[in-house]
Structure 1
């Protein structure tokens, strides 16, 4: 990945643990000049968390070409356990910008958070996009709609992520429509497929790795604290 982007992200927060490219560049439909969507996590120095006035748990950065969000690791793990599909995707994205000693464990946890409850994330987001398209029909939202629903179907059926929209369309025999009426009709059919995938899914209902997440958070805190003492 781009060195300049990784360096920019590392400068946004102390102790960036994981940062990945998400959005259209991950899904394979970025247009020329598309910005870079980045999502990841960082760890505050442990001593900062012991103060009366706690530091913020989310850092954002936006300019003409970068839209980055970094959550403090405790918040990142809580969102993962919810599960929040955006956070799970960021942890599993192959487009890694910033890595650390904790990445493999974060990814392992993300894999264990793939469950039936992700249906609510993808169903809810698809509904939001449809409302947005009703107000303003644009190609990027159309692609996002198809990607969201097809991702949900694939995850519920297989327990795995397939990030490429083209690959998802090929697998499910879907052709992206051009007109508003055709898009709405496609969405209706695909949402029915998503509902059926949820009913038939053999995935666990919810993440069953809270103790692992708690252990990981504790070890990160202790590690950060020991580094501060050594410094």
Structure 2
């Protein structure tokens, strides 16, 4: 964990309190993206494993769970999906869940997490550009309505993440790292520094200038997608199916053994 996330023991204990096994939990949000503020929320994301009985009966299970709490004035939230739902999201060109899976800010991990990370490259396609293009457009509209710095940084972050992914096949969510690797507006490091001091506030940069830069990066993303060597469809669908079945069956055997013992 980073200094801004000097909460490792606390976060791990919260994850351990979940009613079903948590296969992994990582930190997402501004801390992952490289522009947390002093009072940024801590966003925990991960995967839990429902009992098989919950999935084959008539009742609809809670495939997504969330909880929020406050520690020393900092708001925290934990959102987890059941493994099957999470893997389905991975196969739907969802860059957001891939960023959570591959986050270097790890609170809980294990063999199942490491195996899923190893399978992640097999879901990457050139069509993930659509996810980042759409996310950028949503954040840009929010910036145009509010003039706030946060959605502007999100706009640049997702555009640069999409460009980097199309060019390299690597999911990189950290904006300062991306700025160092891709031709980016020169004012971005200053905006990142501003965001570190305040979670909310206006972006101190001319609207016309940022609009031109955002439009240019959209064009760069289009070009990167057209030239990308990423495939058109995931290659890991069967492997992921086998993985989900195997992890679920192993958990059932472990639970049965515990009952017998």
| Residue of structure 1 equivalent to 2:4 | none
Q: Indicate yes or no: 2:206 matched with 1:200.
A: no
Counterpart secondary structure, 1:39: strand
Which TM-score applies when normalising by structure 1? Answer: 0.95
Once the two structures are superposed, the pairs formed by residues 98-177 of structure 1 within 5 Å of their partners are: 98-174=108-184, 175=186, 176=188
Unpaired segments ≥5 residues, structure 1: none
Cα distance in 2 for partners of 1:179, 1:11 equals 47
Cα distance in 2 for partners of 1:112, 1:223 equals 23
Q: For each residue in 1:66-92, what CA deviation from the matched residue of structure 2 results, as whole angstroms up to 9, or x when unmatched?
A: 122100000000000112101111111
Cα distance in 1 for partners of 2:182, 2:56 equals 51
Q: Indicate yes or no: 2:59 matched with 1:49.
A: no
Cα distance in 1 for partners of 2:88, 2:143 equals 31
> Does structure 2 conserve the Cα–Cα contact (< 8 Å) formed by 1:47 and 1:225?
no
Which TM-score applies when normalising by structure 2? Answer: 0.84
| Residue of structure 2 equivalent to 1:92 | 102
Q: Indicate yes or no: 2:259 matched with 1:229.
A: no
Counterpart secondary structure, 2:111: coil
Structure 1 residue 13, shift from structure 2 partner: 4.2
Cα distance in 2 for partners of 1:194, 1:173 equals 12
> Does structure 2 conserve the Cα–Cα contact (< 8 Å) formed by 1:88 and 1:113?
no
Counterpart secondary structure, 1:63: strand
Larger radius of gyration: 2
Q: Indicate yes or no: 2:249 matched with 1:213.
A: no
Alpha-carbon spacing, 1:129–1:199, altered in 2? closer, same or farther (3 Å): same
Cα distance in 2 for partners of 1:70, 1:159 equals 26
Query: Aligned pairs, how many?
Result: 231
